[in-house]
Chain A
Amino acid sequence: EIVLTQSPGTLSLSPGERATLSCRASQSVSSSYLAWYQQKPGQAPRVLIYGASSRATGIPDRFSGSGSGTDFTLTISRLEPEDFAVYYCQQYGSSPPITFGQGTRLEIK
Chain B
Amino acid sequence: QVQLVQSGTEVMKPGASVKVSCKASGYTFTTYGITWVRQAPGQGLEWMGWISAYSGNTKYAQKLQGRVTLTTDTSTSTAYMEVRSLISDDTAVYYCARGARDSAGSAYWWWGQGTLVTVSS
Q: Tally chain B residues at the interface, Cβ within 8 Å.
A: 26
B62 close to chain A: CB less than 8 A: yes
Contact status of A98 and B44, CB under 8 A, knowing A44-B111, A50-B107, A92-B106 = no
* Chain A interface, >50% SS class: loop
Please state if B61 and A96 are interface contacts (CB–CB under 8 Å): yes
A70 close to chain B: CB less than 8 A: no
B118 close to chain A: CB less than 8 A: no
Question: Closest residue of chain B to A49, judged by CB?
Answer: B107
Q: Tally chain A residues at the interface, Cβ within 8 Å.
A: 25
Question: Closest residue of chain A to B112, judged by CB?
Answer: A44
- Taking each of A95, A97, A98, A99, which has the highest tally of chain B beta carbons within 10 Å of its own beta carbon? A98
Please state if A88 and B104 are interface contacts (CB–CB under 8 Å): no
Which 10 residue pairs of A and B lie closest in terms of their CB atoms, listed nearest first?
A: A44-B111, A35-B107, A50-B107, A95-B105, A98-B47, A100-B45, A92-B105, A95-B104, A96-B59, A97-B61
CB neighbours (8 Å) of B44 from chain A are 88, 100-103
**Which of A44, A90, A102 interacts with B107 by CB under 8 Å?**
A90
Seen from chain B, the residues whose Cβ lies within 8 Å of a Cβ on chain A are: 35, 44-47, 49-50, 59-62, 95, 97, 99-100, 103-109, 111-114
CB neighbours (8 Å) of A16 from chain B are none
A to B CB contacts below 8 Å, 11 in the list: A44-B113, A44-B114, A45-B95, A45-B108, A50-B100, A90-B108, A96-B59, A97-B47, A98-B104, A100-B46, A101-B44
A79 close to chain B: CB less than 8 A: no
